Amino acid sequence: MTNTVAVTFNVRPPERAALTDAIGGMAAMVYLTDLDDAGRTAALRDATAILARDTGRDLRPGEADAIQSARLIQFITAGIDFVRLDALPAGVPVASNGGAYAGPMAEHGLAMTLAAAKRLLIEQTALARGEFNQFTRNRMLSGKVCGILGFGGIGVATARLMRAMGMHIHAINRGGRSDEPTDWIGTVADLDSLLAASDVLIVSTPLTPATRDWIGARELGLMKTDAILVNLARGEIIQEAPLFAHLQANPTFFACIDAWWVEPVRHGAFRVDHPFLSLPNVIGSPHNSASVPGMTEAALRRAVANIRRVLTGEAPHYVLGATERMG
């Protein structure tokens, strides 16, 4: 029987061409958006793999139950905490697209870090008021510690850039080891040590039941009073009210926020419960760290590469565990 990959979302012609090229004749790509109701059900029933964006939106009521033969449900995004995974067949492995957007996100994290360390927004605002603070000191990154909370694709890509800036890399992942060079690496049990050592803390860990509200008042209190915190992951990993209070109490502490607590894609709106953007020690961006030309095609190719592993009998990468699927 011919292998098929059922694509649940709308894909433009150039990206369809990229998918066909990426699968390399190992399977036929079938697009649900091209089919009638009966065709959609048949495609899901017979698919060897499913390529999805958000099954809660892409699939119609009851369609998930038609998935019977799939050996993998592969998502195109790295973070899939907003997807109703409990609505998918329990026996089918689910994989995120881990590391798909690591390159541009790492650059964005570096840019935010430099903007904070060099006081760029603060001094631009001062210049607009006619203040020329030439001798107010900013900071060097070289020789300082960059702590990375979540040493997967994004964390590793960020570490390489930060190392090029002369920073020492401290990191945490679940296993406490990595093939990527670090000056120190630990497990989640070593979080306090990472926080205390970091001059810059990059948050790049997935949102799971274990990481939700992970960083609160106690954890922030362990950090240096002039540390720079950069959140590239999910807002919910850091407790909103304690972070705002910490920023107010420590004016030399910076928060660079790309990932917010309530965002349009995941929640239908943008909202903050505290006026972060009124603080001079906050730099914000609209979760656009991965929004660069060519990244959609690159992400699709990476997702298909994981599907190819299944088709050749290899174990896919970035498969969610039972606890993550419950989140």
Domain extent, residue 189, equals 102-284
- Tell me, what's the pLDDT at 82? 87
The answer on 126 and 16 residing in a single domain is: no
Residues 195 and 217: beta-carbon distance below 8 Å? no
Residues 88 and 73: beta-carbon distance below 8 Å? yes
The CATH number for 38's domain is 3.40.50.720
* pTM score of the predicted model: 0.91
Length of the chain: 327
250, 265, 284: which is the final residue of a domain?
284
Q: Which residue matches tokens 């290899």? A: 314
H/E segment holding residue 49: strand 49-52
Catalytic residue, candidates 123, 263, 274, 301: 263
pLDDT of 298 strictly over 60: yes
- Tell me, what's the pLDDT at 113? 98
The answer on 93 and 114 residing in a single domain is: no
- Tell me, what's the pLDDT at 326? 61
Active site annotation includes 236: no
The answer on 219 and 116 residing in a single domain is: yes
Q: Which of the four pLDDT bands, split at 50, 70 and 90, describes residue 277?
A: very high
pLDDT of 325 strictly over 90: no
Catalytic residue, candidates 40, 119, 139, 287: 287
Active site annotation includes 287: yes
Catalytic residue, candidates 40, 234, 246, 266: 234
Angstrom distance (rounded) from CA 7 to CA 229:
37
At 194-225, the pLDDT tens digits run 999 999 999 999 998 899 999 999 999 999 99
The answer on 196 and 47 residing in a single domain is: no
Q: Which of the four pLDDT bands, split at 50, 70 and 90, describes residue 259?
A: very high
